[in-house]
Amino acid sequence: MSKKQIHTAKAPPALGPYSQAVWVNNLLFLSGQIALNHLGELVVGSIEEQTEQVFSNINAIIKKSGGTLDDVIKLSVFVTDLGDFEAINSVMEKLFSEPYPARTTIEVSALPKNAALEIEALVNIDPDQ
């Protein structure tokens, strides 16, 4: 098994000793993204604005790897308020179409930098496409 670290300046730098993403065979494993801009500053705003920033980060990392959001097969969503579930869904409906990625949503007590949500993604990218 060989793995390749993925990094782009168009997404925020990692907050610790981990990669933005790691590519193994056709699978791209994205670390959890919070609503940080590419400078590492938390986007303050509605849950919709924060969700849009998170997906902007995810999209930048996927694009760096030659894929698109259509290649996402699984999302894990961590939220500090499960009451934000519908607002997150409304943003996702603008970004994804059927077949939607599989998804798990979990309420947690806190996230780094007091973010309202964190999303990690599993992406299948065919290098020959």
The reported pTM is 0.94
Asked whether residue 91 is domain-assigned, the answer is yes
Asked whether residue 114 is domain-assigned, the answer is yes
Asked whether residue 12 is domain-assigned, the answer is yes
Local confidence band at 15 (pLDDT 50, 70, 90 cut-offs):
confident
Report how many domains make up the chain. Answer: 1
Local confidence band at 129 (pLDDT 50, 70, 90 cut-offs):
low
Asked whether residue 129 is domain-assigned, the answer is no
C-alpha to C-alpha distance for 60 and 123, rounded to whole angstroms: 13
SS3 95: helix
Q: Which of 14-18, 68-72, 105-109 is predicted with the least confidence, judged by mean pLDDT? A: 14-18
Q: Which structural domain range is residue 81 located in? A: 3-124
Q: 76: domain CATH number? A: 3.30.1330.40
